[in-house]
Amino acid sequence: MLTRNLTVVNPSGLHLRPAGFLSQTAMRYKSDIIIECGEKKVVAKSVLNVMGAGIKAGTEIRLICSGIDEKEALEGISQAIESGLGEGIKE
């Protein structure tokens, strides 16, 4: 199991479009992928779970990957989150 703390950079948080992008990215991996936000733990491969968590911009989350390709999953999803989940966020 690998974990990494990340900050959501999307100005509108994880609404439908970035939540969908995150879930699609997570589905590329065989590992179990969980997003922990405070007391909430959601399955990253479910767009409804990700949206339902109500994660806002600037929120710190913990990405938890466990499985055969956990290292690749952690890196790939972390990069997607840090780059704005397809919304072209500029730093």
User: What whole-number percentage of the chain has pLDDT above 90?
Assistant: 85
Secondary structure element (H or E) that encloses residue 49, with its range:
helix 47-52
Query: Model confidence over 40-77: pLDDT tens digits?
Result: 999 999 999 999 999 999 999 999 999 999 999 999 99
CA angle 25/30/34 to nearest 5° reads: 65
Is 89 among the domain residues? no
pLDDT-derived band at 30, boundaries 50, 70, 90: very high
From 2, 6, 13, 15, the catalytic residue = 15
Structure tokens at 65: 């990957």
| 4/66 Cα distance (integer angstroms) | 12
Residue 53's nearest CA partner among 5, 11, 18 is 18
Is 91 among the domain residues? no
CATH assignment of the domain containing 58: 3.30.1340.10
Domains in the chain, number: 1
Is 35 among the domain residues? yes
- What is the average pLDDT across 13-40? 95
Secondary structure element (H or E) that encloses residue 63, with its range:
strand 60-66
Active site residue 15: yes
